[in-house]
Amino acid sequence: MEPIRSLRNPALQRVRALQRTSERRAQGLFAVEGEDHVEAAIRAGAVLEDLLVREGAPVPAGVRVEPLVVAAEAMDRVSGVASGSRVIAVVRTDSLPQPPAVLSGVGLVLCGVSDPGNVGTLLRTAAAFAAEVVVLGAPSADPTAPKAVRAATGATFAVPTLAVDDPARAYPEARLVALDAKGDRDLADCDLTGPVLIALGAEREGLPAAVRERAQVVCRIPQSHAAESLNVAAAGAIAMAAAYGANRG
């Protein structure tokens, strides 16, 4: 098969367009780059619309679409990573895991976490500690943004996300535990057994007033005075690890 060389090819143009949030939302699609991430999508049963494979690279096992072989130079031009990719998949957003109707365990709430790298890292953390859902309060970053998908390292296809305008209203059956550096009590003294939502705010803006008001408790993570605060992804990892420990039994 003659490899695709022209950037005017519709499949290549679509991959480039999906770098933009507006296009991902309009088309209900997003791009996934790299063998490990594409293989995670396939294992999870995500629906692939297209699969672009660099000329000479192997086709991932289990693919149900006809792969499109792309010349190296053209693949590098459409890739979102500096080193280029050997494989890029276009995935249907509606084939991702769906959020539960009712929460029975632990969920993570991100309030205005706008950095896609942090959102992806927290998705990875949520998967590691068996979270049932990650609630994304506006204006949190799109979890299908390229940087978020790379940071999630496959967790995009393992943990459901739910985007809402008002995270304080998500899953009213669950207790809401908010994290803040000036919280009322140490995290170790907070009840993290499910159903529970653990809420994190943006590093600059902090928690929305509505989330603070609805929270049963605002907890802090004890730390030394050597640093002013923790990165939101680090704080989320500490809180989710504590919740995982509290619910393992």
CATH class of 106-247: alpha beta
Q: Looking at residue 116, what DSSP letter applies?
A: H
**Count of Cβ atoms closer than 10 Å to residue 87 Cβ:** 24
pTM to 2 decimal places: 0.94
Check for a shared fold between 10-95 and 106-247.
no
- Answer yes or no: are the C-beta atoms of 119 and 141 closer than 8 Å: yes
Residue 249's pLDDT is 65
Residue 224's pLDDT is 84
Residue 30's pLDDT is 98
Compute CA distances 132 → 13, 108, 214, whole Å: 35, 8, 21
Q: Which CATH number fits domain 10-95: 2.40.50.140, 3.40.50.2300, 3.30.1330.30, 3.40.50.300?
A: 3.30.1330.30
Instruction: Provide the residue ranges of all domains of the chain, joining segments of one domain with +.
Output: 10-95, 106-247
CA distance 195 to 127: 17
- Backbone angle region of 206, left / alpha / beta, with phi > 0 → left and psi within -120 to 50 → alpha: left
Hey, CA dihedral for 8, 14, 20, 22, is it positive or negative? Answer: positive
Query: Both ends of the chain: CA-CA distance in Å?
Result: 55
CA distance 179 to 59: 44
Query: 10-residue block means of pLDDT along the chain (249 residues)?
Result: 92 96 97 96 97 96 94 93 90 98 97 96 98 96 97 97 94 95 91 96 85 94 82 96 92
Residue 227's pLDDT is 73
CA distance 78 to 65: 20
CA distance 186 to 170: 24
